[in-house]
Amino acid sequence: MTGLQILGSGHGLPKRCVTNEDMAQIVDTNNEWITTRTGIEQRYFCSEEETCGQLAAQAAQQALQQANLSADQIGLIVAATFTSDYLTPSLACQVHQALGCTKPIPCMDVNAACTGFLYGLETARSLLMSGSANSEYALVIGAEGLSRVLDFTDRTSCVLFGDAAAAMVVRLADTPYSCILNASGDTTSLFANSLLPNQARFLQMDGKAIFRFAVDIIPKCLEQLLQKSGLTLEQIDHVVCHQANSRIIDHVVKKLGAPPTMFYKNMQRFGNTSAASIPLALDELLQNGTIRPGQKVVCIGFGAGLTWGACLLSF
């Protein structure tokens, strides 16, 4: 078995919803600029009491419940994040504790920015296949507390991001699955949370460069994945891109001549939640019944690093 089956999914969001009007109270911006340039209408930010670990644990609990599994049935936890509450212990270890797992299992974080969840899925699949997990079930989480690294004096970046977590319970299955992961060192386009002296701790981004990169890499990535899978775009039911900016997705749809409804968008409600964005979208599509049994879904991630990747999932 070399494919992956998703047995359950869930999400965790902070209580506080911050609209574009709210952002206009913080920086010199307005609803019109944010919605027309990005499609984003609101996002969620953690309060001082809320943590990325709590969001991740809430998402994990929901996913376990839906999979009808107890915490101790999980044999592996992989969490994708670059804005966890601590450098160590890992977010995956925090979730292990929060879920009340009583048995030791492999737990680790991966950092591939907005492509992180796809790196996490592939890491979990590889560990399941190698026999390194302690059971057939793995928990894969994408979670970010991005508001902690936003510069609330920089209107070009702080309006774009939000905090969230989403999780999937997966196991190996005999279903079509393909994955491509890539990265190419370019730390000028996005930089956050540096621990080096005299370097910005807050997120800094060359938005235009990332935009150009994204509209170029998404179609290439999709083509490469379809080729590897022996499929055509017509055989795919849904495409879930990283939810950075609706204009990026619109550009890609136009370039490919694909039906716009095939490419899911939910950044209007959550902003860019980096590693949480793809599983958050998948969770919505699963919960509202848009993804149905027998369907094929392609997920495409891109982000800081630079990193990019794509994954074919079958339901």
Binding stretches for ligand ACO (CB under 6 A): 29, 33-34, 37-38, 113-114, 155-156, 159, 190, 205, 207-208, 210-211, 214, 244-245, 272, 274, 303-304
Q: How far is the CB of 44 from ligand ACO (least distance, A)?
A: 16
Helical pair 277-287 and 116-130, crossing angle rounded to 10 deg: 80
- Cβ-based nearer residue to ligand ACO, 99 or 190: 190
Length of the chain: 315
Hey, what are 7's tokens?
Answer: 């047995």
- Cβ-based nearer residue to ligand ACO, 14 or 142: 142
- Cβ-based nearer residue to ligand ACO, 244 or 312: 244
Q: How far is the CB of 242 from ligand ACO (least distance, A)?
A: 7
- Cβ-based nearer residue to ligand ACO, 69 or 113: 113
Q: Which of 20, 111, 245, 272 is catalytic?
A: 272
Is 134 tagged catalytic? no
Tell me how far CA of residue 210 lies from CA of 27, 42, 201, 245, in angstroms.
22, 21, 19, 11
Cβ–Cβ < 8 Å for 135, 144: no
Q: How far is the CB of 159 from ligand ACO (least distance, A)?
A: 4
Alpha-carbon span 283 to 299, nearest angstrom: 13
Q: Which of 242, 245, 266, 311 is catalytic?
A: 242
Count CB neighbours of 193 within 10 A: 16
Hey, what are 274's tokens?
Answer: 């980096």
3-state DSSP helix/strand/coil percent for the chain, to nearest 5? 40, 25, 35
- Cβ-based nearer residue to ligand ACO, 114 or 286: 114
Q: How far is the CB of 147 from ligand ACO (least distance, A)?
A: 13
Q: How far is the CB of 108 from ligand ACO (least distance, A)?
A: 20
Q: Which residues of 264-274 are buried (b: 16+ CB within 10 A; e: fewer)?
A: bbbbebbbbbb
Is 238 tagged catalytic? no
Cβ–Cβ < 8 Å for 123, 75: no
Is 93 tagged catalytic? no
- Cβ-based nearer residue to ligand ACO, 71 or 190: 190
What's the sign of the alpha-carbon dihedral 31, 32, 37, 38? positive
- Residues in Cβ contact with 185 at an 8 Å cutoff, skipping those fewer than 6 apart: 305, 306
Q: Which of 46, 114, 158, 299 is catalytic?
A: 114
Distance from CA of residue 11 to its chain's centroid?
11
Q: How far is the CB of 271 from ligand ACO (least distance, A)?
A: 11
Tell me how far CA of residue 190 lies from CA of 16, 23, 69, 307, in angstroms.
26, 21, 38, 11
- The set of catalytic residues is 114, 242, 272
